Chain A
Amino acid sequence: MISLVHFLVVGGLLFTLGLVTVATRRNAVGVLMGVELILNGANVNFVAFGRYGAAATTGQVFALFVILLAAAEAAVGLAIVLAIFQTARTIDVRQADLLRE
């Protein structure tokens, strides 16, 4: 029997993997993918709480919003990456430090 805890564990794992990806990847696209993982970890939680909790459909609606928001975010993020690439000829986030002191 699959319970809420299982879902939460999967969500937590996804979130953690995403966070680690964001924190460690040097490739900007990889970082964006890590963000997707984090968002999807949250989505798993929304759906799971919607199935087992009192919120019923609210969790699924929120998951749809998050997917939408993730798409928009990825579009903006990829545009920024493109802009960085055009400027610095690299998409290594460690090289993009023009705002340093």
Chain B
Amino acid sequence: MEHEAVHGLEALAPIVATPVAYLRWIPLLPLLGALWNAAIGKRLQARLGRAPIHLVAIGVMTAAFAIALVAFAAMLRLEPEARFLEDSVWTAAVAGPLRIDLGFALDPLGITMVLVVTGIGTLIHVFSTGYMHEEPAYWRYFAYLNLFAAAMLTLVMADNLALVFFGWEGVGLASYLLIGFWWRDRDKASAGMKAFVVNRIGDFGFLAGLLLLFWLLAGAWGTGTVPGAAGPTLNWRELRDQIAIPGTGVAEHLQAVRLLGLPALGLAGMLLFVGAMGKSAQLPLHVWLPDAMAGPTPVSALIHAATMVTAGVYLVARLDFVYALSPTAMGWVALVGGLTACFAATIGFVQTDIKKVLAYSTVSQLGFMFVGVGVGAFWAGAYHLVTHAFFKAALFLGSGSVIMACHHEQDMRRMGGLGKSMPLTRWTYLVATWAIAGFPVASGFYSKDEILWKAFTARHLELLGVPVPWLGPALWAAGLVAATGTSFYMFRSYYMTFTGSYRGASGGHGHGDAHGQGHHAPEESPLSMTAVLVALAAGAVLASFLGLPAVWTGHEPLLERWLAPSLTAGHAVPFTEFPHALEIAFQGLGVLAATVGWLGARALYAEGRSHAPEALKARFAGVWAFVNQAWRVDALYDRVVVRPAVALARFLSRFDGAVIDGAVNAAGAIGRFLGWLDAAIDTHLVDGLVDGVATVTRRAGAQLRRLQTGRIQTYLYGALGGALLVVLLDFLVP
């Protein structure tokens, strides 16, 4: 291992990118599929039924998968260090010397993610055709699903961090749309909103971290004191070239800057990780993921287990060159991951909703991944990401199959005994449970034990600038506890669902007659679903070969070698060396932990015989309720965040109603008064004047007309009077 590290350091050179023009089609095709179904899917479905909808949706996903395979093959033909494909579509923005492209790039880490997203994504699209069979808004579902795939692929393949953020927001949107897919149900709609809002908090951290990192780098780019700094860029390949290659001086510059008494780089890493915490549901931003189970089950499998939630892990692995420079950031990532892994595992113990169990299990497994990337075993984190994608997708789709068979019943207490009627679902679920619990042969063992071993050997972590050599072993211990828990609650869900006797409303009065044959005992799901389950379960086992440990085979695991050109920083992480025997002993401990969990679950839940669970629940009712309500984190949020926010909103609303509206109304009233006054002046004064003139004239005329007597002598009197007047005036006026 040490030898490898030295080798890796020496070989580090700028990445040579090979331009290929087809990369853009990988995210673009699902986007086109989404637009197609969104635009005319409704009419197509009304005219031609569901087939054209899912043919388009699955077609674009398959095509994207095929193109990804082509890219993979192209990459295999290149030298390991030169495995970098690039496709710049156009320049999106230019700000001074900074240029941001709409460009896509693939390196070994990227293609691994792309294959997972498109591969498992395609399978889940196929599964959805069965699961969403009766959905009226079939077209909308597939449009959203394709939109998600497009956003996720943009996030993974973006060649610069601005575009990564774009995809990051895109998957958040798709997730929101799909969680609230049945938006007529108020709870589901608000679950979608919750996910969106919590993610927004994380996104703020991401953006702040990104800007801080950029600001830090600007210190290197702008001053001219760092000769190796090539110039402003957000392209992560160029960033990696500048930061990771020794001798440029950028890394030293980054490490030297301090902010608020902390290493500024650590702060940037921690902030970026806040984004990852939001997206990957880590403490304390995990609250949205269990609620996200309100969405259709295939969505839970694809977005909230296999792909989107791993975006945070991907981000940390992608920025490995940043994290490797900052033990503070690494310690933070690993600590949050370890805490989350333990915390979520305990909640899994007492959940009765099968999807909730899987949701908390996902949170817990994501914690494991963060322990991996946090301690610097970037490839191990990525490996757990891949294996988890397989077995968790299999578990979720298995649960979807079960839920459908039980007429949309998700409570495990009303299941049981399904193993007999649903053999394929049962066996695939068991294999996936095996994998997640960490038994050898199935893949979870290899990835989890690699993470735990690396955690144990990590002595370089720091928290807020303070070295904490004990953190690594502590994380190992926590991980072991969490692994025991994982094994326990997963086998618990297996036993409660598939063994014993059926406790549901079989043959009784279900809900409505809409389901036709659905009232009878649960039956195996259609081929479109079971075939996918088998494929995923097979993947969960076969993924083992990617990561057979070095102590078994004598050479580094396949996936580690494959990812090495991407995760160059991993070589620089100073893990402590221990003898191989100890590593094998630790693997034994891992298996022991899984066995303990399994046996515990078997004793308590197998065949539904034991009454101990009920007794324990009654005995520790308080604790049970506390844990069942997820440690009341939601209640805490409700009290600390939601209620003050609502109160503030109410206050502002009242302020708005009383003060602002009052002011506006007052202004209106004044205006009205002025208008009234003006009108009064107009009618009374101006009109009065005009009318007055007219009236006076008329009245004067009425009076004066009497002078016109028609008598000649009257006129004569007038003339005489006038003459007299003139004479008099002549005398009076000098």
- Report which A residues bind B (CB closer than 8 A): 19, 22-24, 31, 93-94, 96-101
Contacts and interface: CB of A to CB of B under 8 A. Distances in A.
Contacts of A93: 711-713
B701 to A, nearest CB: 10
Contacts of A100: 708-711
B711 A94 contact: yes
B284 to A, nearest CB: 102
B716 interface: yes
A100 B711 CA distance: 7
Contact of A94 (B706, B708, B713): B713
Contact of A101 (B706, B713, B717): B706
A100 B717 CA distance: 16
Contacts of B717: 23
A23 B716 contact: yes
Contacts of B720: 19, 23
A93 to B, nearest CB: 6
A36 B709 CA distance: 25
B511 interface: no
B705 interface: yes
Which 7 pairs between the two chains have the least Cβ-Cβ distance?
A100-B710, A97-B710, A101-B708, A99-B710, A101-B705, A97-B711, A100-B709
A57 to B, nearest CB: 31
Interface in B666-718: 705-706, 708-713, 716-717
Given A22-B713, A23-B717, A101-B710, 15 more contacts: A19-B720, A22-B716, A23-B713, A23-B720, A93-B711, A93-B712, A94-B713, A96-B711, A96-B712, A97-B710, A98-B710, A100-B709, A101-B705, A101-B708, A101-B709
22 contacts: A19-B720, A22-B716, A23-B713, A23-B717, A24-B713, A31-B712, A93-B711, A93-B712, A94-B711, A94-B713, A96-B710, A96-B711, A96-B712, A97-B709, A97-B710, A98-B710, A99-B710, A100-B708, A101-B706, A101-B708, A101-B709, A101-B710
Contacts of A19: 720
Nearest to A93: B712
A23 B712 CA distance: 9
A101 B711 CA distance: 11
Instruction: Describe B's contact surface by its main secondary structure.
Output: helix
A9 B363 CA distance: 140
Contacts of A23: 713, 716-717, 720
Nearest to A95: B711
B575 to A, nearest CB: 126
Nearest to B716: A23
Contacts of A22: 713, 716
A97 B720 CA distance: 20
A96 B706 CA distance: 16
In this complex, which of B713, B716, B717 has the most chain A Cβ atoms within 10 angstroms of its Cβ?
B713
A39 B95 CA distance: 113
A24 B720 CA distance: 13
Nearest to A97: B710
A100 B712 CA distance: 10
B709 to A, nearest CB: 5
- Interface core residue of A31, A93, A94 (most chain B CB under 10 Å): A94
Contacts of B713: 22-24, 93-94
Contacts of A101: 705-706, 708-710
A98 B708 CA distance: 11
Nearest to B717: A23
B563 to A, nearest CB: 118
A94 B715 CA distance: 12
Contacts of B706: 101
A101 B673 CA distance: 49
Looking at A22, A24, A101, the one whose CB has the most chain B CB atoms below 10 A away is A101
A76 to B, nearest CB: 14
Contacts of A99: 708, 710
Nearest to A94: B711
A37 to B, nearest CB: 15
A94 B712 CA distance: 8
Contacts of B710: 96-101
Nearest to A100: B710
A101 B709 CA distance: 6
Nearest to B709: A100
A64 B711 CA distance: 32
Contacts of B709: 97, 100-101
A99 B717 CA distance: 17
Nearest to B711: A97
A31 B712 CA distance: 11
A34 to B, nearest CB: 10
A101 B705 CA distance: 6
Contacts of B711: 93-94, 96-97, 100
B720 to A, nearest CB: 7
B718 to A, nearest CB: 11
Nearest to B708: A101
A98 B709 CA distance: 9
A73 to B, nearest CB: 15
A34 B294 CA distance: 124
A93 B715 CA distance: 12
Contacts of A97: 709-711
Contacts of A31: 712
B79 to A, nearest CB: 123
Nearest to A28: B712
Interface string B715-734: 01100100000000000000
Nearest to B712: A93
Contacts of B712: 31, 93, 96
A13 B233 CA distance: 127
B710 to A, nearest CB: 3
A15 to B, nearest CB: 12
B712 to A, nearest CB: 6
